[in-house]
Chains A and B, each alone.
Chain A
Amino acid sequence: MQRAVVAILLLAVAAGLLGAWIVLRRLAFFAHAVGTATFPGLVVAGPWGLTPPLAALGAGLGFAALLARLTRRGATSSDAATGLLLTGALALGAVLASDVYRSGAGVDRLLFGTLLGLGDGDLWLAGAVALAAVAATAALARTWLATGFDPAGAPALGIHAQRGDWLLLALLAATVVAVLPAVGALLVSTLLVVPAATARLVTGSLGALLPTAVALAAAEGFAGLLLAYHLDLPPGPAIAIVGGAGFALAALASAPRQRRAAGVAA
């Protein structure tokens, strides 16, 4: 349990910071899909003698390459292609797990995470992505802000928009791989999207959004672990329940402010 708490707190730093950018840049569905796309990679990791993070990263990168290929000519929209590939990855993983490698009960662990299986490697990876997220946010915050706010005008501000976008997506892929052991392939959004989306409801500036998203990811992750420990649940769903409740409360609390803002905009 102690190891799981340390892992969740480290992951909260990366997931909170990157999650804020993911929500601002409307990449939440993409983040969820990358997580799900790692499932077939995780299934074949053991039988093929690969380390799970490497197999997951390979599957995630394969997903990104296929998505780029499908959307290159504009005939298929990005969200439709993402949904298509997400479904394909889940189906492929399910077939591999049930009929090819007969992964049995291990599938639950891959899909929803575990408290028990976190090793030293998982902690090191969590620490590395936390450090990378802090460094990248310090170095690239202006690039990500200007590109997200005004994609057409950003290059004229001296912003290397494409380079910044590639770094954001690479860091997102690494963070997805890091959160997999804790929350599983199906529920990476519980740490990467839900806390940041909640923070977005209750903050009005980027300076407040980033630390609030990290704090919420840590608090929801910790509370979810306690819930999972005491109710004997997988950690992914437990954190998702806490995160969902937090979002609902924040939505209720911020509703009057949102209504006022909508009135001003109209």
Chain B
Amino acid sequence: MTGGPPALQVNGLSASYGPGRPALRGVTFSAAAGQAVAVLGPNGGGKTTLFRALLGELPVAGSVRYGGAPAYVPQTERSRLDFPVSALDVALMGAYARTPWYRRIAASDRALARRALLRVGLGERAAERFGALSGGQRQRVLVARALVQDARLLLLDEPFAGVDRASEDAIMGILDELRAEGRVLLIATHDIEQARDWDRVLCLRGEQIAYGPPAPTLTTEVLEATYGDEIVVLGDGERAVAVQHHAH
């Protein structure tokens, strides 16, 4: 379900964390309903900055147009694993924005949260403590939370990082369903090969390097401009690997 008028339109977006040089600039792209966009770039290249700008957490220049508030699926490592919350509690957080503080969460939202957990294959584990689940299962719970938010635009921050194969398959299946429902997905990833499976790729390195369908966009030149010396091109130039240097 791709094509049609843009559901997300970003024109000349720049975002900064304070006065001075913007952390990200010159970003212009659009995505139609049902499209999945892989957001590629090195660490510090602007993937998180783009997400924070789209979430309205950073001052931006340029324009951003989409319907409603986006949902954000963070990496599970950024959640507090010792918090006394169950998988269902976390999924229910997706209903917070539409529940006034003086009301209990509606029965319909509780049912929605249970269905969302079922959809990600964790219906049986709704009562389990979030921190006791595996990394992949926790990531699926965070996807369920976004399903409860029922947003038309989902921002997923490396949803496949460190997850087991079963969870990767489950998350991939859900993302395909969300695309079929006409939602727009922005997926930050370091996996260049996986990015080739999505509808569009957006390459960032402090600014927009390239945007378009994966096959014509992910050229050796674009990848080198995006990753610099962090890219290794394999074989006949058809495959490339990003070598990420993490500071610990």
A125-154 residues with Cβ-Cβ distance < 8 A to B are: 138-140, 142, 145-146, 148-153
A1, CB-defined interface residue at 8 Å: no
B170, CB-defined interface residue at 8 Å: no
Contact A156 B84 (CB under 8 A): no
B86-108 residues with Cβ-Cβ distance < 8 A to A are: 86, 89-90, 93-94, 96-99, 101-102
Cβ 8 A contact of A139, one of B69, B85, B101? B101
Contact A140 B101 (CB under 8 A): yes
A104, CB-defined interface residue at 8 Å: no
The interface residues of chain A lying within 8 Å CB-to-CB of B69 are: 156, 158
Contact A149 B96 (CB under 8 A): no
Contact A149 B132 (CB under 8 A): no
B181, CB-defined interface residue at 8 Å: no
Contact A209 B84 (CB under 8 A): yes
By beta carbon, the residue of chain B nearest A209 is B84
The interface residues of chain A lying within 8 Å CB-to-CB of B96 are: 142, 146, 157-159
A105, CB-defined interface residue at 8 Å: no
B70, CB-defined interface residue at 8 Å: yes
B21, CB-defined interface residue at 8 Å: no
Cβ 8 A contact of B79, one of A149, A157, A264? A149
B interface residues with partner A (beta carbon < 8 Å): 55-57, 69-74, 78-81, 83-86, 89-90, 93-94, 96-99, 101-102, 129-132, 142, 145, 149, 155
Known: A149-B130, A151-B78. 6 other contacts (CB 8 A): A138-B101, A142-B101, A149-B90, A150-B80, A156-B155, A158-B98
Q: What are 7 A-to-B residue pairs whose CB atoms are below 8 Å? A: A149-B80, A149-B93, A153-B79, A153-B142, A157-B96, A157-B97, A159-B96
